[in-house]
Structure formats: C-alpha cells, structure tokens
Amino acid sequence: MNKSFKGILGGLAAVLFAGTVQAQTTVSIENKEDAPVISKHIYGHFAEHLGRSIYDGLYVGEDSPIPNTNGVRNDLIAALKDLQIPNLRWPGGCFADTYHWKDGIGPKEDRPTIVNAWWGGVTEDNSFGTHDFLNLCEELGAEPYLAANLGSGTVEEFTDWIQYVNHSEGSPMAKLRKENGKEEPWNVKYWGVGNEMWGCGGNMTPEFYANLYRQYATFMTSWENENDLYRIASGANQDDYHWTEVLMRDVPKHLIEGVALHSYSFVEWDEKGSASDFNEEQYFSTMKTALWMQELIDKHTDIMDKYDPEKEIDLIVDEWGGWYEVEEGTNPGFLYQQNTMRDAMIAGTTLNIFNNESERVKMANLAQTVNVLQAVALTEGENMLLTPTYHVMKMYTVHHDAKLLPVDFDSPEYTYNGESLPAVSVSASKKEGNVAISLVNIDSQKENEVEIDLEALDVKNMTATILTSDKLQDHNTFENTEKVTPEEFKDFKLRRGKLQVTLPPFSVVVLESK
C-alpha cells in the first residue's frame, strides 16, 4: 500500500470517527450579586379531583387497611416530605370551576354526592374537602394553593371560603369553621381566581375575564391587602400572547400578584401516543414541545415587562408536564399514564428553564402529584412506586431558595430527521456557600462533554448523582420499583477550577460542592 493511499484512508477514518465524537461544550457561570433567588415554589405540585388522583391516590379513607393519617396514605406523605414539596394546588384544574367548597365540609356522612362531569363522569362523595386538604398541607409543611370557583360560583361563595380558612374569630364563617373542629385558621396565602377561563373555565374572552377578575379580586381582601393574599389570574394557554397582554393592560397592579401560564409536552395533541411504548420520532417531538417552554416564557415575560418593568407581578406556570394516552385498560377520563426516562428529560429541562427564568417565574406546579399525567408517584392498592420524575425533582431540591448563578453556553445539537434541538440544558445556584449544577443531555444516542469554569466560585470538591437507564422507555413498575433510580456519578473531573463532565445519552446529572 503506498503512502498516499494510506494518507487518504487515514484522513477518511479521522472524518468518520469525528462524526461520532461530540465536541466539548464550555459553560461559563457568573456569580452575580444581583441575581434572583430561585423560589422553592417553582417545585410545586398539583392534585386535581381527577381519576385516581385524590380518591385511591392521596386519600384512601380513615377506615382503609392501608396505613394512613386522617385518610391520606402514609407512604405518600413520607415520599412528599422527602421531596420537600413547597406547595400543593387543589382542587383543580377544570374541576375547580365546578367545585362548591361548602359541599366538602361538616360531617362526612352529611356531605352531598357530586358528579365529576369533566373527568370520567364518576360520582364523588366529597369525603375529601377543605379540612382534609389543608390539614394535609400542614402535615407536609407545604403552602396550600387553592384554585377557586369563578366559572360557576359567585363572589359571595369565593369570599366566604377566604373567611372560612383565614378569619380567626367573630365572623360567621370563622364560627362555622370552629363548629367543624378547626379552632385556628389556616391562613391560606395563594389563591387562583378561576382556572383556564379561556376553556373549561367558561370559554371567556380575555377582555370579559379581565373585568370579572377585577370584580373578584376587589372583594377578596382589603384596600391595602393587609392579609397579604397572593391572587393569581387564570393565564394563557401556551402561546396565547393576547391573553397576557389584556390581563397586564386591563388589571390594575394593586389587584394582582401573579399571572398563570399552562403548557404541556406531547407528541401531537390529537395523537399523543403511548406513555411507555414510543419511538425516537415521538420522543423528539415531545422534547420539542417541552423545550418550547423557553420561548413561551420569553415572550410572555416580554409582554409583562412592557406593563410591569419593576417585575412586581410574577409568572406562575401552574400546570406543566407530559401528556400521553392513558394506559391500556384504564378509564380514558382518568389520565393514568406511565412515567419513563422521557419524563425525566421533560422534568430536568423544564426545571432548568424555570431556574434560569426565576427573576419572573416564582411558582410552578407539576401536573400531577399521583396517578395522573406526569405523576411523581403511582399507587395500586397498598403498593406505591416513585417515578423517574420524582427522582429528578428530589435531585433538584438543592436549588430550593438558592441564589441563581447565571450560565452562558452554546449547546450541542440533538439532531433527528433533519431537525435539531439543544441537547444540553444547564442551571446552577449557590446556597450557604455550596454550589449546585444540574445538567441534562436529551440526546437519545450520543454522550456530550461539558467543561464548566468554576474558578471564580472557589469550588474544591464535588459529589454528583445521575439518573439514567438503558432505554428511554425504561420505567418503574410495581414488580420492579427500583429499575430507574439515581446513582452516584463519577464521570467528571475537577482540576484547577475547571469541571469536566461527560453526560451519557438521556441523562440528568446534579453536582454539588461540599
């Protein structure tokens, strides 16, 4: 073989080899004094009266053989405590605007039965009501977020609920609460003024809802809002930027503390596909809608900045997560689905977006807590399992109320069928002198190498945890509850202030300084 032919072969081999190796991505981290704090409330949850979310999920009843505290299963209470759940949204969702809170108080045997017309047409006996929910939040150490009925309720009903849970004594509603066994008020701060008013909340125009919101918000509290209620307006569906424009333009700032946004991740809305039996094309499409969250927040924030440059009104993403077809053989109205490594990718990238946008995003609520959509836990009789999403959220607890460390980098691309997405997602924070960095590689085939400059942060030692698996479709089952669980991660080096990390395909890695 002559020399020149050897050279051609060698050059060809180098080109072919180069196609399989990812270039190193350099991430710069800025330690800014004026950076925002990542509110722990970004890591909130959502439990709607939907399918087996409340009944046979959270709540099994006081007489159940399943160990429980006031009817709520103990294993789930323990899991949510370990997750350091900061807030819990209830009772909906669409259900909120058909829920009348007085049906769920008083002796349980006297409570009326209702039909859940939104989700499966099943009847509910109202055995889980205001006391049950708020006492659960106290047990969890979580702030309650009550989504109140504006769509089919009245101002009087709404304000009576506020008096019932917040007024200490002397009022008729405080007296009624005491008669029902709760002497001291719960002092609920967070209130949703209706839900999805553009859809199941009443199919309203934004102009009509803005005026209705003004009416309800006016009667919720005093002139100066001395009781510090946090009023959240029903916000846009995904890219309905006109909705946000109208709310910001037409609602006076002294009547509003937060504007909501809802966005789900899916393959195609009308063809959602299986939660666990999916191909790479479906995975890529799902991640495309998940990463769209960045654009949505950017554009809604731009509108909010126009009317509120001081950033006094917060953006609240109080419904987000993956949405697929229900598991075969289950009630289609119950939205029960499995939870795979794909959902871990949704969780990791979305939470990184929220962290990096924490100047405006102050609360978010994963849909939903148990047995519905992208749940953190699934139950079956006396058995419970924790999902990949649960594990990501627990890994990310290091960011709760930590100061954001802004990051800057150009992500490598995850390419499929001629389209590309950013493969790597990063967020970082610092709390009590400790630095935390969360990284996600959504590429289904390729590892990615990342170098992070930590010299300015004076980091000497780090430990790391990883969540990954053999296949994107891998998930935990009641027969194998530990198939997807976090493990210690060692594929990184910290030398002279430079942190080099090799991220496996579809993985979530969290590093912490010690």
Two tokens at 391?
Answer: 């594990």
- Tell me which of 48, 196, 257, 449 is the catalytic residue: 196
Report which DSSP code applies to 478: S
CA 200 to chain centre: 21
Closest CA to 316 of 304, 307, 329: 304
Q: How many whole angstroms separate alpha carbon 67 and alpha carbon 383?
A: 11
Q: How many whole angstroms separate alpha carbon 343 and alpha carbon 349?
A: 10
Two tokens at 334?
Answer: 């119950």
Closest CA to 370 of 81, 49, 55, 58: 58
Containing H/E element for 218?
helix 206-220
Q: What is the CA radius of gyration of the chain?
A: 24
Strand, coil or helix: what is 158? helix
Task: Name every residue whose Cβ is closer than 8 Å to that of residue 296 and which is 6 or more positions away in sequence.
Answer: 238, 239, 261, 263
Q: With contact defined as beta carbons under 8 Å apart, do 264 and 320 qualify?
A: yes
Handedness of CA 224, 226, 228, 231 (dihedral sign): negative
Two tokens at 216?
Answer: 């309800």
Q: How many whole angstroms separate alpha carbon 493 and alpha carbon 479?
A: 37
Q: With contact defined as beta carbons under 8 Å apart, do 322 and 343 qualify?
A: yes
Is 325 tagged catalytic?
no
- Which segments within 202-249 are labelled E, that is strand? 230-237
CA 371 to chain centre: 15
- Tell me which of 48, 319, 357, 449 is the catalytic residue: 319
Q: Which residues are 72's β-sheet partners?
A: 59, 69
Is 179 tagged catalytic?
no
What is the DSSP pairing of strand 448-453 with strand 25-29? parallel
Positions marked active-site: 196, 319
